[in-house]
Copies of this chain bind each other. A is one copy, B any other.
Amino acid sequence: MHILVLGAAGMVGRKLTERLLRDGRLGKSDITRMTLQDVVAPAPAKTGFPVDTVTGDFAVAGFAEKLVADRPDVIFHLAAIVSGEAELDFDKGYRINLDGTRMLLDAVRLAGGGYKPRVVFTSSIAVFGAPFPEAIGDEFFQTPLLSYGTQKAICELLLADYHRRGILDGVGIRLPTICVRPGKPNKAASGFFSSIIREPLAGQEAVLPVAETVRHTHATPRAAMGFLIHAAGLTRDALGPRINLTMPGVSCTVAEQIAALRRIAGDKIASRIRREPDETIMRIVGGWAQRIDARRATALGFRAETSFEDIVRTHIEDELGGKVAA
């Protein structure tokens, strides 16, 4: 099985690649080759099968054709401009997030010879926009409040139409907020959800810009890898025509996040969170989904953590080698 990963140098892309290289198989099939694409060179890898890296912008004419020329069996499409950048740079956001995806789908469509790969597309709960019901169900409509969410919602529609026409076997997975996100603090409005766990555990202070009553839905990077790999194995029959799925996660308040951190790592670590209200972030976060009722995804076998304590423990295991700075 030949696997192509678009956006392989991003956080999710790197973790997915590591996992696939470690497993050496996807579902019941041995991996025989991988192709990793990103705008910067994805990390090289040592393995028993060929791993090609392709550096370049996938939304440039002709690039997608080259990527599918060797007919990868499974395409993980994780490449995207993030929400903040897509909002600031109209042209870049639409070019990468919409046109790039369409070029990929059309390259598959025009490849000929009965080529019909499995395409796993990472979408986002940004396809939804406030006001929300108590919980976002499987039939709730898409009214994104950012260009990023608009572009993701459009790509979901394209993927479903190409799937329906038999051009590919598509599945779109709407990721909740990934928490705890490894690495350094970034300027994303959602960054604090991870910072308030990650920084204290690493012996550093974190800033909490919103009230502790704020509720949100989270899943770990490990759960996200599980979503991607599970999605790649779903059959057309199991999915039915509604191929874009909201993934499950842990819905909890910031207070519950902090309580979980305290129970696992103690008062000293949990006291490294400084309250510094930020009106802008409060306003942005106020428009986000609080609860997700991911019934279909759960019925199809997608699994997230079941408590925020699990999320903290997974972070400590996967990123801190099981150790916590006192």
Chain B residue nearest to A243 in the complex (CB):
B143
How far does the alpha carbon of A143 sit from the alpha carbon of B241 in the complex, in Å? 8
Given A150-B161, A154-B154, A143 and B90 contact (CB-CB distance below 8 Å): no
- A242 contacts chain B at the CB level, 8 A cutoff: yes
Contacts of A109 in B (CB 8 A): 90
Within the complex, the shortest CB–CB distance from A56 to chain B, in Å, comes to 25
Check B147 against A153 for contact (C-beta < 8 Å). Answer: no
How far does the alpha carbon of A144 sit from the alpha carbon of B244 in the complex, in Å? 12
Selecting from A65-73, A134-142, A226-234, A310-318, the interface stretch reads A134-142
B90, B133, B140, B241: the one within 8 Å of A145 (CB): B241
Given A140-B139, A141-B142, A241-B145, A158 and B165 contact (CB-CB distance below 8 Å): no
- A182 contacts chain B at the CB level, 8 A cutoff: no
How far does the alpha carbon of A157 sit from the alpha carbon of B157 in the complex, in Å? 10
Q: Which of A162-188 contact B (CB under 8 A)?
A: 164-165
Given A141-B140, A141-B142, A147 and B161 contact (CB-CB distance below 8 Å): yes
A145-161 vs B: 1/0 string, CB under 8 Å? 10100100110011011
- A129 contacts chain B at the CB level, 8 A cutoff: yes
Number of interface residues of A (CB under 8 A): 24
How far does the alpha carbon of A233 sit from the alpha carbon of B143 in the complex, in Å? 22
Contacts of A161 in B (CB 8 A): 144, 147, 150
Contacts of A139 in B (CB 8 A): 133, 140-141
Check B153 against A157 for contact (C-beta < 8 Å). Answer: yes
Check B158 against A145 for contact (C-beta < 8 Å). Answer: no
Check B154 against A142 for contact (C-beta < 8 Å). Answer: no
How far does the alpha carbon of A147 sit from the alpha carbon of B165 in the complex, in Å? 9
How far does the alpha carbon of A160 sit from the alpha carbon of B133 in the complex, in Å? 20
Q: Which of A99-151 contact B (CB under 8 A)?
A: 109, 129, 133, 138-145, 147, 150
How far does the alpha carbon of A59 sit from the alpha carbon of B286 in the complex, in Å? 39
Contacts of A143 in B (CB 8 A): 160, 241-242
Within the complex, the shortest CB–CB distance from A55 to chain B, in Å, comes to 29
Within the complex, the shortest CB–CB distance from A256 to chain B, in Å, comes to 28
**Residues of chain A having any CB pair with chain B under 8 Å:** 90, 109, 129, 133, 138-145, 147, 150, 153-154, 157-158, 160-161, 164-165, 241-242
Sample (14) of A-B pairs whose CB atoms are under 8 Å apart: A90-B109, A90-B165, A129-B241, A133-B139, A141-B141, A141-B142, A142-B142, A142-B157, A143-B160, A150-B157, A150-B161, A153-B157, A154-B157, A157-B157
